[in-house]
Amino acid sequence: MLVWMGACFAFLYYQLDFVLEIAIADSVVSNLLLTAACISVSNLLGYYQPKNERILFTLAATAVLTFIVVYLSKLILCGLFADDRAYAAFFGLTMYVRAALMFLTISWCALANVLWYRLDEQSAAQERLLQAQNLAKEAELNKLRHQLQPHFLFNSLNSVFALTMVNPKEAGVMITKLAAFLRGTLKRDDEIWVGLGEEIEYIQLYLDIEKVRFSHRLKVEVNVADEALSLALPGTLLQPIVENAIKFGLYNTSTAITIRVEARSVQGMLELSVSNPFDPQMKATGGTGFGLGSVRRRLYLLFADSSLLQTRVVDDNLYITTLKIPQKNDPDNTH
Please determine, for residue 107, whether its predicted confidence score (pLDDT) is greater than 90.
Answer: no
Contact 170, 213 (CB under 8 A): no
Name the CATH superfamily housing domain 167-325. Answer: Histidine kinase-like ATPase, C-terminal domain (3.30.565.10)
Q: Of all residues in the chain, what percent carry a pLDDT higher than 90?
A: 9
32 in Cβ contact with 25 (< 8 Å): no
Please report which confidence band the pLDDT of residue 55 belongs to, taking 50, 70 and 90 as the band edges.
confident
Predicted confidence (pLDDT) per residue in 118-137, tens digit: 787 788 778 777 776 666 66
Tens digit of each residue's pLDDT (9 = 90 or more) over 143-192: 655 555 666 677 778 778 877 877 788 788 888 888 887 777 666 655 57
Report the pLDDT averaged over residues 249-258.
Answer: 77
Of 215 and 28, the one with more pLDDT:
28
Between CA 7 and CA 11 the distance in angstroms is 6
* Strand pairing class (218-224; 232-234): unpaired
More confident residue, 287 or 180: 180
pLDDT value, residue 294? 79
DSSP secondary structure, 253-273, as one string = -SS-EEEEEEEEEETTEEEEE
Tell the burial category of 184 from Cβ atoms under 10 Å away from its Cβ (0-12, 13-18, 19+).
Answer: middle
> What pLDDT, on a 0 to 100 scale, did the predictor assign at position 335?
47
Torsion of CA 179, 297, 263, 330, to 10 degrees: -120
Backbone angles phi, psi at 158, to 5 degrees: -60, -40
Q: How far apart are the first and last CA of the chain?
A: 48
- Map out the domains of the chain as residue ranges: 2-127, 167-325
- 250 by Cβ neighbours in 10 Å (0-12 / 13-18 / 19+) ranks as buried
CB 261 within 8 A of CB 220: yes
- Residue 302 burial (CB count, 10 A): 20
Q: Is the pTM of this model over 0.75?
A: no
Mean pLDDT lowest among 43-47, 95-99, 223-227, 320-324: 43-47
Q: Are strands 218-224 and 257-266 parallel, antiparallel or unpaired?
A: parallel
Q: 283 by DSSP, 3-state: which? A: coil
> If pLDDT is split at 50, 70 and 90, which confidence band does 288 have?
very low
Q: Which of 225, 307, 241 is nearest to 273 (CA)?
A: 241
Average pLDDT over residues 307-314: 89
- Residue-wise pLDDT tens digits, 13-37: 777 777 788 878 888 888 888 888 8
**pLDDT averaged over the chain?**
79
The mean pLDDT of 188-204, rounded to a whole number, is 79
